[in-house]
Amino acid sequence: MDCEMLAINNNQGVGVAIIMGPNFLAHKGYQQSPPEDLALAQMLVRPGNQFVYDPVMKDAGLLTKGNYGSVKKLYVVAKADVSSTEEMQRWMVVLSPGTEVEEIAGADHAIMISKPKELCDVLVKIANSLNIY
């Protein structure tokens, strides 16, 4: 669409950042969100590092069962996300065994904006299941 790739060179080395364009945000990220939230997102766009060359992310000891695997995880499938298909979202869950999955119908990529009450309900449900009170 109208995204730009930007070569970067920072303290982590050379990399690639992406700047999401207004059409991409409107049609792939915030299509179910209120127009004022889309407008705000478009005003606040900043380059986002893709971490492709980040040495920390290449550390084989980073995502071990003892580290990453010891933390309970929740993935909320955004059923109306057109930037990450449901198939892709579920593939990410498969890559992270033990992850609980919840779904929110009608949620776009920005779940907290397109379906804030439903997301809150999911988070409260998970918090209540932890029995930490």
Instruction: Show the DSSP H helices in the chain as ranges.
Output: 22-24, 35-43, 86-94, 111-114, 116-129
Q: Which amino acid is at 69?
A: G
Q: What are phi and psi of 74, to 5 degrees?
A: -130, 135
Q: For residue range 33-88, list pLDDT tens digits in order.
A: 999 999 999 999 999 887 766 777 777 777 777 777 777 889 999 999 999 999 99
Looking at per-residue pLDDT, the higher value among 111 and 68 belongs to 111
